[in-house]
Structure 1
C-alpha cells in the first residue's frame, strides 16, 4: 500500500518546530555562555566576608521605602562581617538599648529621624557614634545640623567633607555608598522584558531636559524608562508606550531590568534644583551616585554623565562610558549596540571592578576601621 503523503499543515508545524528548536538552542547557548562568564567573575572578584570581633548597633533610617532596601542591605552585610549586630529604629529608646547591650559602635544611616538627644546619650556612655549620609549634597541645610553630634561623619559626596569640617566635625570621611551584591548581581532576565536601552529613576528637571533631546535620537531602539514624574516630558504622549510611569522599583526588579538591557543610562541629580533640594550652600556634586555601582554590579554597559570622582572608581572607556551631551549619549549608544563584543567586555570589566572594590562588605569594613581606629 502506498505511503500517504504528509499534509501541508503537518509539514508546516514540523518546520516551525525545527526552527523554534534551533533558535531556542542558540539563545540558550548564548545566555548560558554569558551567565558562565559573569559567574566566573563573581567568584573571582567578590570579597569573602570575615567576621570581626565587634558588636554593632545599627539604627535604620526609619523612612521606609526607598530607604528600607539600603537598611536591609547594610544589616545583612553587618551580620556577615560583625560577630554581633543589634538593630534599632529611630523611635526606639536608643540610650537604653546602648546601655544594656554595650555595643562597640553605633551606626546611623541618614539620621534625619533620629533625635539628637538620643545620640548625645550614647556618646555619654563612651560608645562611638557614626553617621553615613546617603543624599549629600542635596539636603545639607538639614544634615549640617546633625553631623556635629556624631563622633565620625561619613558622606558619599567628596565636596561635603570640608563643608562638615568647617561646621565643627572633627572626623569626616568620604565614603560612597557602593552596592549590596545580594540585590544587584548578574541575572538571566526573562526574555519578555529584554530590550536595548534602559533608564530607571525620578524625572528631576535636569533629566527631563536630557530626555526631551535624547528620545527622538534613540526612539528607533527598544527602550524602557521607569520612575516618577515622567509625564513632565514635553511630548509625553508620544513616548508614553515605553514609560512605566509613577513607579518606585525595588532592588530585585531593578536589577532584573538592568540585566535585561544592553545599555543602562545613568544621569545624576543637579545640585541646584531648588524645587526639591535643600542645599542653600550650593555645594556642587562631584561624586558618583549609588546607581553607578548598582548598574555596574548588574553586568551591563553603563552610559553615565561625567562627574569628576568617577575616575577614582572606574576607568573611562574600559569599565564605564561617559557622555557629555544627549547627542554624545545617543551616538555612543548606537556604537555599542552595533559592537556587541566591545559592549560586553566593558560590562564584564565593570562587574569585576565593582565586586572587587565597591560592595557593602568593602565599604562597611572601611567605616569600622576609620571609626574605631580614629
Structure 2
C-alpha cells in the first residue's frame, strides 16, 4: 500500500521528541508499506490547536490555509507520480479544512486520522473527524461520541514499537521514578509519596515550577520556610499537610494545591533514548491514569496511555492506577501492578521494593506480553485490515 503520512513528530511540540514518528510512521514502514511523509514543520501548528484561546484562534486563522495548501500540493504531486492509496494523519481541526479531506477522498484516496486525546479534548477534532473515512480511536468509551459527530471510529488502542522501546542492560539505580509532564494529580501524588519517606525521582517538562516556591502559600502557612529546602524539613511539612486531608480526599483527589517538591528530586528533561533507558534504570516505574485536570470536575476521566505499553515493552517494572480497560491488555498483578489511590500506591511500592524476586517475575512477564500482543506493528496491521 502507498501511504501519504502527515503528523508532527511528537504529541507535544514544547519539547523535542520523535515519539509519534517512532510509533506510527516507522511501524507503517516495517509493515512493508511505501510511506510518503509530509515534508512540513508542524511544530507551531501543534502549539496552537485550541480556537477557544484568542491568540491561538488568530494563529489558526492565518496558518490553517497555509498548511492545507502545502499538504494538497505535496499529496497531488506524490499521487501523480504513483497513486496514493491511503492518507494517514495525526491532525487537529486547526491543521486542515474539512473540505480538504473531502477533496482528498474525491481523488480516490482513502483517509484515516489517528488521535489520542479524545478522552477530554474531542472538541479539538470534532470538525474534521466526520470527513475522514475512518478515525482510529484508542479511547473505547468515546466511540459512540465519534459516531454522534457523524464519524466512523475504529477502536485502536495504543502500543509500543519494540525497535525503539527495548530493555537496556543497566544497573537499577533508582527506587521509584516517573518520566512525564507535571500536571493534574501527578505533583500531588509525588508530594504524597515523598511525605511517606519513599525515594521518588521525576523527569519531564514542567516539574521545575514545583520547586520554585510559586505555589508555596499553604506551606508558608505551616511556617516551614527555609526548612523546605532540605529533604528532612520538607518531609515534616508534607506530613503536616497530609493530616489536613481526610482519608477520602487522599484516595480520590490527592492533588495538593500548595504542592512544593524538593529540587533535588526534579531531574530535568530526557531524550527519547534516555527515557527508554530510564525504564531499565528504575526498580519501579510509575504511571498515572487520570486525564488533564478532570479530577477538578465532577467527571474524573481515566485513560489507557502510551506509557502503559512503553514501560513494559522497555522491560521496566510498571505500576499504574487501576482502570478496568487495562484488564483487556494485561493480567493485573502478574504482568503489571495497579494501585487504587495514593495510600495503596505507597503500600505497594514498599512491598515490591522488598520483594525483588516477585518484582522481577512481573517485569519479565509484562515485557513478554508486550512483545507478543502490544506492538504498533500489530495494532496498525489490525486496523488496516479492518479498513480493507
User: Normalization by structure 2: what TM-score?
Assistant: 0.73
Counterpart-to-counterpart distance in 2, 1:109 and 1:336: 38
CA distance 1:229–1:265, shift in 2 (3 Å):
same
| Aligned positions, number | 307
Deviation at 1:89, TM superposition (A): 4.3
CA distance 1:168–1:254, shift in 2 (3 Å):
same
Moved more, 250-259 or 71-80: 71-80
Counterpart-to-counterpart distance in 2, 1:83 and 1:258: 31
CA distance 1:289–1:133, shift in 2 (3 Å):
same
Q: Give yes or no for the alignment of 1:293 onto 2:309.
A: yes
Q: Is the 8 A contact 2:176 2:285 kept in 1?
A: yes
RMSD: 2.5
CA distance 1:337–1:299, shift in 2 (3 Å):
same
Describe how 1:298-317 pairs up with structure 2 within 5 A: 298-317=314-333
Deviation at 1:118, TM superposition (A): 3.0
- In structure 1, the residue corresponding to 2:267 is in which secondary structure? strand
The residue number in structure 2 matching 1:74 is: 24
Counterpart-to-counterpart distance in 2, 1:148 and 1:89: 25
Q: 1:129 aligns with which of 111, 119, 133?
A: 111
Q: How far does the alpha carbon of each residue in 1:227-268 deviate from its partner, in whole angstroms, 9 at most, with x for none?
A: 2232337677442112114x3x33211111110011001012
The residue number in structure 1 matching 2:6 is: 59
Counterpart-to-counterpart distance in 1, 2:135 and 2:331: 28
Moved more, 338-347 or 233-242: 233-242
Q: Give yes or no for the alignment of 1:226 onto 2:203.
A: yes
Counterpart-to-counterpart distance in 1, 2:136 and 2:281: 34
**Which is greater in Rg?**
1
The residue number in structure 2 matching 1:240 is: 263
CA distance 1:289–1:317, shift in 2 (3 Å):
same
The residue number in structure 2 matching 1:361 is: 377
Deviation at 1:214, TM superposition (A): 1.7
Unaligned ranges ≥5, structure 1: 1-53
Q: Give yes or no for the alignment of 1:207 onto 2:186.
A: yes
Q: Is the 8 A contact 1:62 1:113 kept in 2?
A: no
Q: Is the 8 A contact 1:61 1:109 kept in 2?
A: yes
The residue number in structure 2 matching 1:350 is: 366
Q: Give yes or no for the alignment of 1:258 onto 2:236.
A: no
Deviation at 1:302, TM superposition (A): 0.8
Deviation at 1:345, TM superposition (A): 0.6
Q: 1:187 aligns with which of 158, 168, 186?
A: 168
Deviation at 1:284, TM superposition (A): 6.0
User: Normalization by structure 1: what TM-score?
Assistant: 0.75
Q: Give yes or no for the alignment of 1:335 onto 2:351.
A: yes
Q: Give yes or no for the alignment of 1:196 onto 2:175.
A: yes
